[in-house]
Amino acid sequence: MLSSFLMILFFVNIKTAVSSCAPSEFFVAGQCCPMCSPGSSVFKPCTQDSSTSCIPCTRGTYTEEPNGLLKCFPCKNCDEALGLAVLHQCQRHKNTICGPLNGYFCSGKTRDGGCDQGQKHTICRAGERVKSQGTAESDTRCEGCPEGTFSTKDMSLNCTPWTDCELNDKVKYAEGSSTADVQCQEKSSVGLTAGLIVGFLCVSFFVGAGVFIYLKKKGTFLNMQCSEKQPTEETNPPAQNEQSNNANHRMDSFDGAVALISGQT
């Protein structure tokens, strides 16, 4: 119980001592010491015989306010992976200030006016136009091309009106879109094109018909030849039999004559 009371009394006294220090002082070792100025930190606290000894912040560190710190803060790093670049280099009395990379805008502000998050600007595609250019503070704004206009490149500032074929004494053969112009051609070429197509179809028809008739006639002729050859093949054997019979008859006559002569002798 007594120890708890003494502990509470100790902290009360510490708080009272700290609150009794001037705004430009810090409490250490039971006494108030002068603070170090921005850009430095405490090297040695004050004593009864000497004031606070301060040391400048080393490269890559800083302090922005009067302090009783024994060590300066490390400078902020502007990470490109977060879309950040150095806007103001770190100094002994001022931390680094980051801004968005080129082509990025700040999507997260810091109290010192810097940026802790960058985001890449939106790209307006073909079929769109840039309504407002992106800045370090805001994103690019895009809008679609109005009806009757088109754009073919990314980040187009304007949309181009479709070509009026009639003004150029031409005819339209392909509609336009938000990414392509109307397609025109000469009026005479329309008739020529149609004539060529019709002519090609006619030639194709007559050639096809001629080939069909030719093949049909050729097939009929071949069938006729086949039918003519079949009787010839059937009559050949009788002709050969007749020749054989004649030869046999002549041989019989010759044998009879020989026998007659032999009998007379």
Question: Do residues 129 and 157 touch, judged by C-beta distance below 8 A?
Answer: yes
- Do 126 and 34 belong together in one domain? no
- Do 66 and 87 belong together in one domain? no
- At 153, which CATH number? 2.10.50.10
Residue 184 DSSP SS3: strand
Cα–Cα distance, 95 to 101 (Å, whole number):
19
- Do 69 and 119 belong together in one domain? no
Query: What pLDDT score was predicted for residue 197?
Result: 73
Query: What pLDDT score was predicted for residue 93?
Result: 95
> If you average pLDDT over residues 255-259, what whole number do you get?
45
Tell me: pLDDT of 17 over 50.
no
Which tens digits make up the pLDDT trace of 91-113?
Answer: 999 999 999 999 999 999 888 88
Nearest CA to 110 out of 84, 141, 73, 72 is that of 84
- Do 152 and 183 belong together in one domain? yes
Cα–Cα distance, 115 to 78 (Å, whole number):
9
Q: What share of the chain in percent tops pLDDT 70?
A: 67
Mean pLDDT of the chain: 79
- Do 63 and 85 belong together in one domain? no
Q: Which residue has the higher pLDDT, 34 or 1?
A: 34
Whether 264 is in a domain gets the answer: no
Whether 208 is in a domain gets the answer: no
- Do 85 and 170 belong together in one domain? yes
Cα–Cα distance, 219 to 196 (Å, whole number):
34
Q: To 10 degrees, the CA torsion angle through 216, 219, 224, 225?
A: 150
Residue with tokens 């030869």: 247
Whether 179 is in a domain gets the answer: yes
Tell me: pLDDT of 69 over 80.
yes
Tell me: pLDDT of 241 over 90.
no
Q: Could you say which of 154, 171, 187 is where a domain stops?
A: 187
Q: Could you say which of 129, 164, 187 is where a domain stops?
A: 187
Number of domains in the chain: 2
Q: What share of the chain in percent tops pLDDT 90?
A: 57
pTM for the full model? 0.55
- Do 179 and 126 belong together in one domain? yes
Question: Residue 161 sits in which domain range?
Answer: 80-187
- Do 173 and 136 belong together in one domain? yes
Nearest CA to 28 out of 52, 61, 4, 12 is that of 52
Cα 107 to chain centroid distance, Å, stands at 25
Q: To 10 degrees, the CA torsion angle through 186, 188, 191, 192?
A: -100
Tell me: pLDDT of 18 over 90.
no
Whether 260 is in a domain gets the answer: no
State phi, psi for 18 to the nearest 5 degrees: -65, -45
181 Cβ contact list (under 8 Å, min separation 6): 150, 160, 162, 163
